[in-house]
Amino acid sequence: MIPRHLTPALRRAAEQYPVVTVTGPRQSGKTTLVRAVFPGYRYASLEAPDVRARAIADPRGFLAQGDRMILDEIQRAPELLSYVQGLVDEDGRPGRFIVTGSQNILLMKSVSQTLAGRTALLLLLPFSLAELYGFPALDPSELDRRGAALAPAAAQRLSELDPWATLLTGFYPAVHDRGLSPREWMADYFRTYVERDLREVTQVLDLRTFETFVRLAAARTATELNLSGLAADAGVTHQTARRWLTALEIGYVATTLPPHHASYRKRLRKRPRLHFLDPGLVCYLLGIEDAATLERHPLRGAIFESFVVAELVKASAARRRDPNLYFWRDATGHEIDILINAGSRLIPVEVKSGRTVPPDAISSLQWWTSIPSNPNQGGVLVHGGTEDFDLGGVRILPWFLGAGS
């Protein structure tokens, strides 16, 4: 098993709360993680029809089978949570129940109604690049500050990776653990996601139209979200498009970055920016079948930018922090791809997929920090190459983001 950066936070939560809830997309590794971290717990998968039937028929007896239990895929029997609430109210010892679920809309509704104040909520996303290659977790709030340098052997290993092959493969654990074909696995994953999970969550009736909608949305990754235009292209109403986009966010397939509210200039754009969270899934949805095609593809830069956003989202989730990610763009076309709210300052991040960094690559960062009412300085440029250096007060990071260094 590849170690997960969420593990320390998971252990701490189980020492503090009677219930720990681990949510995330299907096939992100939730079951593998909780069973590895809590090997002595009684395990029950509510995905299995016979187990689910016993749990629903006799919830008290089912929960009495073990002093400490893992309830996997709890959204299949959310009524169990009411009985869990009663048990932990009587005996609030920490770590009694570990609960997992992949359909966040159903799970979180049940959790908020029954376990408020009794459970820790953790999010497990697919592998980060640092997890895959055994490096420390990235800290987004320190992205612009140089930490300890990677060991020469580690730096050499990362520099030899093909970024486009890495993005094409994606980061879902099953592909890496079992050496599966990314394209074949993504096809099965997407089919299961659409035909099963989304049909239950959003009651999608026209699956073909929904698939078209998702593919059109994937082609808009790393762009401002024009929901009316997306709805028109997909042949659905604005209301339907909004509901389907919400489903993608709930399932952790995509996320949206809001525009930052600070008015360093007037007439800021107010639409969010859409990002799909796994580059391998985007490549599948767009019909990109090999790394060479991805490297030449007109959406290469957008896919690369969404990959960087996803790495920041994963790093925040591993630390049990909100991502606090935004973007900035004014009506004249000046923009910053990502703004990280680090508390005391904003870190502007520009993303360029090219392997080299021309002198004008940091012009947007320099322009933004030169706005008279803007107190923030410096910034980060993430590029498609392997160099890590400073340029004009900006930190230039390689595509692997220093792998947590």
Tokens 């489903």 correspond to what residue? 247
Bridge-based pairing state of the strands 325-329 and 335-341: antiparallel
Residue 195 has pLDDT above 90, yes or no: no
Tell me which fold the domain 7-123 belongs to. Answer: Rossmann fold (3.40.50)
CA distance 153 to 253: 34
pLDDT in tens, 111-123: 767 787 889 999 9
| The pLDDT of residue 107 | 60
Q: Maximum distance among all alpha carbons in the chain?
A: 68
Among 40-44, 54-58, 96-100, 110-114, which stretch is predicted with the lowest mean pLDDT? 110-114
Closest CA to 220 of 303, 295, 310: 303
- For 275-318, write each residue's pLDDT tens digit: 999 999 999 999 999 999 999 999 999 999 999 999 999 999 99
Q: How far apart are the first and last CA of the chain?
A: 23
Report the residue count for the chain: 405
pLDDT, the chain, mean: 90
pLDDT digits (tens, 9 = 90+) for 140-152: 999 998 766 677 7
- Residue 363, pLDDT score: 94
| Secondary structure (3-state) at 338 | strand
Domain-by-domain residue ranges, the chain? 7-123, 129-404
336 CB contacts (<8 Å, ≥6 apart)? 327, 328, 329, 348, 349, 350, 364, 365, 368
Which contiguous run of DSSP H or E holds residue 202?
helix 199-202
Q: At 269, is the pLDDT very low, low, confident or very high (cuts 50, 70, 90)?
A: low
Q: How far apart are CA 28 and CA 57, in angstroms?
A: 30
pLDDT at 138 over 80: yes
Task: Please report where in the chains the tokens 């609960």 appear, as a residue.
Answer: 99
Going by C-alpha positions, the residue among 201, 231, 210 that lies closest to residue 106 is: 201
